[in-house]
Amino acid sequence: MLVRRNDLFIRHECGEATIPQIAVWRADSYAREYEQIFGALPDLLQVPRSGGPVTDREAASAWSGLTDAQREDVTRVFVNIGKAIAAYERRIEFGASRFDKYVNAVTTGQSDPNILTDNEIAGLRLFIGRANCTQCHSGPLPTSNEFHNTGVPPRPQLAIDHGRLTGATAVLSDEFNCRSQWSDTRARCSELEFIVTGEHTLDRAHKVPSLRNVAERAPYMDAGQFATLAEVLDHYNRAPAAPTGHSELRRLRLKPVELRQLEAFLRTLSGPVALANLLLPAARNDRDCRSRRSRHRNRRARARHQRSSARPACSRRLGFCRRASSATSSEDFA
């Protein structure tokens, strides 16, 4: 699932959805698992699925029609789902790569010349030497987890992303930051206590990613500007000026054969992904989603027929009925 920062719509296996839709669908799918961790689910049957705190006028109108308690219930489920996903992601581990096996062999005195090729070893020497990669990519991941401007060009069809310059300011006022009512660590929010904002050195600075399985994660950079590792290495070798801010790169002047050796080494960082005992039953596929929507339509049709004589006026554009009491029939969203 993908959260778009500008309007908080979400993409998932059944298409694009609003926060209430995700809250209800995930509650339906994983109610037992949710309640084992977070306690009883709130009653979301009377919440219009078309609503949300978004820029879309119809969805925003539906959201504003909810009571404060309903909005808090939806947000709490949404937040808890996000926490569960984050906890799951933190438990995903990379298995041993060929480079890990090489390091283990060297450190235990059991060197095996067949683990890495000559070109891959030459790339390793470049990585820790003249290519200066370890300035940002160090440690077991390897990454410094810091933010740097490396002169990456913007994508023509997108507005320039100023990176940490605007991101650091935005997180301070974010509804879901670690100081918010939704945080489990408000007493330990050192990230915001010591955050640096407003400095020109933050312009176009982006977080250094891990290089684990980097060969499997194309396209690269903050907006997928480079399609291949070869393009990334060429960029670092040329060190062009940054579109905004100041690039921290310096020209490497590596030869074509050295760039190929460096790429060969980066490919040795790939290993299996460990997911054992982490997966819940698979999410519904598109066919299941279509079938479920069909069942929903049939149930709503039956409910409309049964209530036809007493049904209030409905707003089809908003996707829900509002009675004088602001209550909504649960059959509309079953």
pLDDT of residue 304: 45
Q: Which amino acid, one-letter code, is at 220?
A: Y
- DSSP for 62-88, written as a single string: HHHTS-HHHHHHHHHHHHHHHHHHHHH
What would you report as the CA-atom Rg of the chain, rounded to the nearest whole angstrom? 25
Tokens representing 316 are 């089809």
In this prediction the pTM is 0.74
Residues 173-223 have pLDDT tens digits of: 999 999 999 999 888 898 899 999 999 999 999 999 999 999 999 999 999
Triad 98, 206, 257: Cα angle to 5°: 45
**In the block, which residue shows the tokens 């049709």?**
301
8 Å CB contact between 171 and 164: no
Q: Which amino acid, one-letter code, is at 252?
A: L
Q: Which CATH architecture describes the domain 95-157+208-273?
A: Orthogonal Bundle (1.10)
pLDDT of residue 234: 98
SS3 122: helix
* C-alpha pair distances (Å), 169 with each of 162, 176, 240: 11, 14, 27
Residues 100-142 have pLDDT tens digits of: 999 999 999 987 888 999 999 999 999 999 999 999 999 999 9
Tokens representing 54 are 């978004």
8 Å CB contact between 125 and 254: no
Residues of the chain with pLDDT under 70: 1-28, 276-334
Tokens representing 50 are 């078309």
Tokens representing 24 are 């209800």
Looking at residue 91, what DSSP letter applies?
H
Residues of the chain with CATH 1.10.760.10: 95-157+208-273
- DSSP for 94-120, written as a single string: E---HHHHHHHHHHTT---TTSS-HHH
